[in-house]
Structure 1
Amino acid sequence: MERIMGVINLGNEKDSLGDLTKHRCQASVPFGGRYRLVDFTLSNFVKSGVRNVGVFARNYYRSLLDHLGSGKEWDLDRQKDGLFIMPYYSNESYKGDIQHFYDNLSYFERSKEEYILVTQGSIVWNIDFRHVFEEHKKQGADITLIYKDYIQEEKAVYHTLDVDENERVQAVDLEKIVNQGDNVFLNTYLMKKSLFIDLMKETYEQGNYDFFTDAIRANLESYHVQGFHFKGYMPFIHSVESFYNHSMNLLDENVLQQLFYNHGFIYTKVNHGPPAKYLQSSQVVNSLIANGCSIEGTVENSILFRGVKVHKGAIIRNSIIMQKGEIGEGALLENVILDKDVKVSKDRILKGDEIPTVFAKSSHL
């Protein structure tokens, strides 16, 4: 899809993961033992043939920049096109994504692609955007909005779409408390780049700053706005509880297969550490263990990221331990999430409730 440029729009994303987004944007939150949430969007772009990707970052993006680097792991370190990062740098307070887009107007104007695909950086999905492009052309649409039916029981707030029998968008509800079966807009849209630029300029000059609300929703009657129903596996992550639950679902090999392998691989930053080491006293059951881990204790129904050390006699159950965590001898952990570099002392007991307890990055407990 050399005709399409990709944009990862982080400006309007909600940081809804508590301490996990205290020092990082949601797109750079670790997921699945070795990935970051943004890896899914980048991988989807690349395997769909998108070679020009712009990342519009707003807040707490240092860890994101460190993770992305030159874009090598996603084959985006290129002489032509590649990965472009546009942090928000205006002296004015942030008003909306249109302001950020407008400040980088030259990036869009000099890009040679005919179409533009804008999405978020924290959607966990495996999609081939070529199918979206084909349907967009087939329907003769001006704008295509991607949506997913909401299948979770947990209450959440999203934009929703009302579509007719031909998938044409009839109405949009903003910030709606969703129920099962509602069509949740995935903050992902496709259109010609020329239309995107025209709408951006027009809306900006009117003093409005949210692209979806003020440029797309406000013009539903003026353009053919088509819906595209994504029917693949996609967890809605909008809280610590949903993050934990969907992380734990990865222990189901069917979910793991759907998300990471069935529709192409998900790529991430390469780490050349040693394989995980299981010592004689270790017991590991139904868990994801990343490379570089050293296990002497017991790990059950848990996810351990790279470089985690579990000392002798320690027990970890139903928990997520992020990079370089260290669990002291005889410690007991149940239903907790430990951010990066957390050290747990000898014989310490940490237990969460139905909603797991999160311990902040670099804590010493």
Structure 2
Amino acid sequence: MRAVGIILAGGNSNKMRELTHKRAVAAMPIAGSYRAIDFALSNMSNSHIQKVAVLTQYNARSLNEHLNSSKWWDFGRKQGGLYVFTPTITADNGYWYRGTADAIYQNLEFLKRCHEPYVIITSGDAVYKMDYNKVLEYHIAKKADITVVCKELEPGGDASRFGTLKMNESMRVEEFEEKPMVANSNTISTGIYVIRRRQLIDLIESCAEEDRHDFVTDILIRYKNLKKIYGYKIKDYWSNISTVDAYYRTNMDFLKPEVRNYFFKQHPDVYSKVSDLPPAKYNPGAVVKNSLVASGSIINGTVENSILFKKTFVGNNCVIKNSIILNDVYLGDNTYIENCIVESRDTIRANTRHVGENGVKVVVEKNERYAL
């Protein structure tokens, strides 16, 4: 494909509360066996983009671990491949990434050395499937400077988390507001952009000269009347996980047969780093209804409408309802969990009760199971 990919995976979302205290949003576990960044990487691979840069920064250890072998997404190649960039202190720059535009600016040498004429920019915290070739064809047909992939928000959706935009009949963007308090439009930006490589380099360099650091406010909004910016509407499933409620809702969507079928049974596939774990084991007395249970788990109790990630142990007489149990959690006997997200590597002691009364409760147990 005639494009190079950039995945922005360095952000810190305070709205994720305790869940991002030890990992980046792009490394959040999704649907039992995946990480959030797997969806963007799989889309890049399935669109035949051969060169992808992932820009990481905040709490990047588990994300870097996940990306330590590029073969899972078919980026183990001689030409191109997967590049992971973290902030680097140089003779003339000692900053962390101060924004999305600054993150690209600090790695501009990578873009300058590329030969592909176009760049696909996307974030690492959204769950979706997309053929970027179709967006690129649309971008070329419209003779656009920048193409923004957008989607109609469902009624009752919270537009204040996103950039909202208004377009005319020819789909040219006329208004763009970033995270408005009161949204005038229910068309939101998905954070996926197509732009010519040379033009991106020029815009990023002029941003840096004026000490501006954000791609949306300092390029898209600032240049909306000077550049031809077009919207490309999608109707397929797309979900951003940047808040606890959105993360919970996105995972729970995978309990719907049509969502599972779309992601797991329809071409193209979603790829992830594979763990060599035994299949889930259901002991006598285990009751599981409408749930996803990942490999390496052992179930002794009752699980309903829940997602259990890898290596979860559910003790005797446990009841888990409408909850997400992250990797490597040990649930002691007679535990009751409802409307909760249980952080990975937690040990929930026997006879414990956790219920999310007003919304989703994040359970973090600060105990050391592996201590001597």
Query: Is TM > 0.5 for Structure 1 vs Structure 2?
Result: yes
CA contact (8 A) 1:341 1:363 kept: no
Task: Determine the structure 2 residue equivalent to 1:286.
Answer: 290
The corresponding residue for 2:354 is 350
Post-superposition, which runs of at least 4 consecutive aligned residues in structure 1 deviate over 4 A?
178-181, 361-365
Matched, 1:337 2:335: no
Aligned partners of 1:224, 1:189: CA distance in 2, in Å?
Answer: 13
Deviation digits for residues 256-292 of structure 1, max 9, x if unmatched?
1223443511111101110011111111111101111
Give me the whole-angstrom Cα distance separating, in 2, the residues matched to 1:327 and 1:180: 46
Gaps of 5+ in 1: none
CA distance in 2, matches of 1:15, 1:257: 32
Equivalent residue for 2:107, pick from 90, 104, 107: 104
- Residue 40 (structure 1) aligns with: 39
The CA deviation at 1:216 is: 2.7
With 252-261 and 116-125 compared, the bigger mean Cα shift is at: 252-261
User: In the alignment, which residue of structure 1 is the partner of 2:251?
Assistant: 247
Partners in 1 of 2:200 and 2:231 — Cα distance?
17
TM-score scaled by structure 1? 0.94
- Give me the whole-angstrom Cα distance separating, in 2, the residues matched to 1:180 and 1:285: 42
Find the partner of 2:261 among 251, 257, 261.
Answer: 257
Q: 2:305 and 2:292 mapped to 1: Cα distance? A: 8
Q: 1:302 to 1:51 in 2, by over 3 A?
A: same
CA shift, 1:74, in A, is: 0.2
**3-state SS, counterpart of residue 175 of structure 2:** strand
Q: 2:236 aligned to 226, 232, 236, which one?
A: 232
State the distance in 2 between where 1:153 and 1:123 align.
Answer: 19
Pair 1:115–1:175, CA change in 2 (3 A): same
Q: 1:309 aligns to what?
A: 313
Q: Cα deviations across residues 228-281 of structure 1 (Å, max 9, x unaligned)?
A: 011111124342122212211211111212234435111111011100111111
Question: In the alignment, does 2:226 pair up with 1:222?
Answer: yes
**Paired amino acid for 1:50:** I
2 CA distance for matches of 1:239 and 1:363? 25
Which 10-residue stretch deviates more, 254-263 or 315-324?
254-263
Distance in 2 (alpha carbons) for counterparts of 1:261 and 1:43 = 15
List per-residue Cα deviations over 1:53-86 (Å, max 9, x = no partner). 0011121111100011121110112221111011
Asked whether the 8 Å contact 2:301–2:316 carries over to 1, the reply is: yes
For residue 295 of structure 1, the aligned residue among 273, 286, 299 is 299
Number of aligned positions between the proteins: 364
Give me the whole-angstrom Cα distance separating, in 2, the residues matched to 1:258 and 1:164. Answer: 31
TM-score (norm 2): 0.93
Q: Secondary structure at the match of 2:310?
A: coil
CA-atom RMSD in angstroms:
1.9
Unpaired runs of 5+ residues, structure 2, are none
**Deviation string for 1:150-195 (max 9, x for gaps)?**
1152534321111111111112112214659611111211011011
Which residue of structure 1 aligns with residue 139 of structure 2? 136
Question: 2:165 — aligned with what?
Answer: 161
Confirm whether residue 198 of structure 1 aligns to residue 202 of structure 2.
yes
Percent identity over paired residues: 32
SS in 2 for 1:17: helix
